[in-house]
Structure 1
């Protein structure tokens, strides 16, 4: 069988990505119809830069979601005769596979570069947004009272934040992500009290705390509704918390591999102080506004004012920073993978794939260039999306 030409390669990839195109079309069509009811997201359609970024980001999101349908080969499978195969190369006779070509070639271990790129998107997008969201919950939960209440609380929290930020990030990640660190610490009732596990036990509790405070402040005058919301939050939150922090979920739904846990906790730990400082600064600026004084006059509690008066009015900068921070986290994950830290070595993570392909970069560039372009495009999309959101949020 003959190798594919570049037009044929592009046509085949376009066909493989058909679920992504359909999903993008549905999202844009529905969003366009109801844009006037979608707030900041609806106004994003007025920003060409923002919509370009949104399209790129959603392309990779849907690629990650539909990755099992898109890949042409097992990303870990090594097929005979396909080592460093050029893009469009036909499989050798006798290969037991439904797709007869390596669309973007093979790597040094004869694995399909296209399939590894697609599955790598799932690995990145499974960690970066979730870890960033956790970091935001930690930063918001601590930053709001630090900025609003001030005093000794602000002094202590700011000192701890500055202490973490003063530590070299790369060295900190080397210390936290090294697999050997998972085996340190005493064994307590079958649970290893290693540094990452202890950090997970602390940091993963913040989302539960955040939502409990949120519901309590919002429905303080309606105890029945408040108790229902807090009860649901505790039931679901503690279930997830037990699985992620202590690997104690009996159903096995909420569990995280040790290497992945190290990466996740490290990302949250590094990003949370920066989010804390942003939230603290915004709170110190907004707490002198008239609507805050009006809430105080009505007799609203501090947490109600912080969560339902100050935080909504700080959403613009926070949403923009959230998008940018996902991009930073994506680069950080790629850097960790490049250095061989974090996820398992055989993982199709973009960073580790780039590292594996760089050794023969001058001879066979495609194994490293393809994931590098994927990583660059996702970060570019997030940055453009953040720019568009910033433009539209300034119009509020």
Structure 2
């Protein structure tokens, strides 16, 4: 059966039109940001350089793509339309009259829609896993760097033990189907998810211990919200069914946190060892402040610059790791539209059809590029300060 198609100019126009909600959101965010950038602190400083603007625009583009995926994508990413198998870019689907903008894959699914919905998976798992890695690494790196001695020796040994494993082998061991069927990922997730709760409990406790009324409210909210998230993510027991995570997603999440936390630990430890020699730390000690108060309210704020830069880079690394896991068949379910799985599926027939492989590759590359540009801009700004 002959299928109609549209040319390259029409393909470009259709793609631009599909991303209209993204363009509107970008304009609504960036235009006021430019106008008031002098008042926006670190975020406003990103807009002072072309590198920062480019990186921020790319990151916001994929963020809004994930938010408006249901509006942007013309087809269900899992829907198979047999007649569109390996369809060329611009081929019109007869029933709806809409084009497969970037063509169809070997299972007759719309490549464009799968790339769009794949952004949701990457922009949820990568930043969330990086945030938890920062929490775990910070809660262990601060006491290691501040106390030194035996505490530092024990924690550094554990971190170096994890870092001694090759990353891909470590991921294979944690995400392989044999491990998935055990309770190991759930137990690891239960351990790692305690750290964010402990972080905020210690943060509020050290700051507001002299104001018991305010402290009680903050600790109650922390334990309530943290317990709710903990129950939903670890035990899939959210009574409201709002927070949940599939078992294979939990495995990947735990693997990323487990592999990334030691790197954060070493950065925080090194920064703490340097900052603890400063005069304002000695002044806080003279005032009689507790060690955890000094670590969380004196050391950590002065280490935020390098940590923010590292977080941007680490999100990019995590996105690449997710792609690598998907490519090796250790990622999400085979039908998942995440970019790594899409690259793996399309690479099987790469010599015959190139078009299904290029969009997820370009999407992953551009997202990581945007994060690297943001990190470069932040690094330049921190050097000026």
Q: Shared fold (TM-score greater than 0.5)? A: yes
Question: Which of residues 84, 87, 90 is equivalent to 1:85?
Answer: 87
- Confirm or deny: 8 A CA contact 2:80 2:107 kept in the other structure: yes
Q: 2:252 maps to which residue?
A: 263
Shift of residue 17 of structure 1?
0.3
Rounded to whole Å, the distance in 1 between the matches of 2:180 and 2:4 is 49
2:103 to 79, 102, 105: 105
Unaligned runs of 5+ in 2: none
TM-score for the superposition, normalised by structure 1:
0.95
1:101 CA displacement: 0.9
1:342 maps to 2:328: no
1:187 corresponds in structure 2 to none
**1:392 partner SS:** helix
1:301 aligns with 2:290: yes
Work out which of the residue numbers 191, 202, 222 in structure 1 matches 2:191. Answer: 202
Answer yes or no: is the 8 Å Cα contact 1:249–1:255 preserved in 2.
Answer: yes
Q: SS at the partner of 2:83?
A: coil
CA offsets, 1:86-129, max 9 Å, x none? Answer: 1001123xx2x3x5210000001111000001011111111000
- How much does 1:179 deviate? 2.8
Q: What is the match of residue 10 of structure 2?
A: 8
Q: 131, 142, 145: which one pairs with 1:144?
A: 142
Q: Is the 8 A contact 1:295 1:305 kept in 2?
A: yes
The 2-side partners of 1:48 and 1:303 are apart by 39
After the TM superposition, which residues 1-396 of structure 1 pair with which residues of structure 2 at under 5 Å, given as runs?
2-92=4-94, 95=95, 97=96, 99-184=97-182, 194-396=183-385
Secondary structure of the corresponding residue to residue 2 of structure 1: coil
Unaligned regions of 5+ residues in structure 1, if any? 185-193
Distance 2:364 2:71 in 1: 21
Query: Is the contact between residue 77 and residue 113 of structure 2 (CA under 8 Å) also seen in structure 1?
Result: yes
How many residues matched?
A: 383
Displacement of 1:41 in angstroms is 0.9
> 2:156 is paired with a residue of what secondary structure?
helix
Q: Given that residues 179 and 259 in structure 1 are in contact (C-alpha distance below 8 angstroms), is that contact kept between their aligned partners in structure 2?
A: no
Matches of 2:228 and 2:261 in 1, distance apart? Answer: 23
Q: Does the CA-based 8 Å contact 2:104-2:356 persist in structure 1? A: yes
TM-score (norm 2): 0.97
CA apart distance, 1:49: 0.6
Aligned partners of 2:331 and 2:341 also within 8 Å: no
RMSD over aligned Cα, in angstroms?
A: 1.1
Distance 1:342 1:251 in 2: 28
Secondary structure, in 3 states, of the residue corresponding to 1:388?
Answer: helix
| Aligned residues of 2:67 and 2:120 also touching (Cα < 8 A) | yes
Partner SS state of residue 24, structure 1:
helix
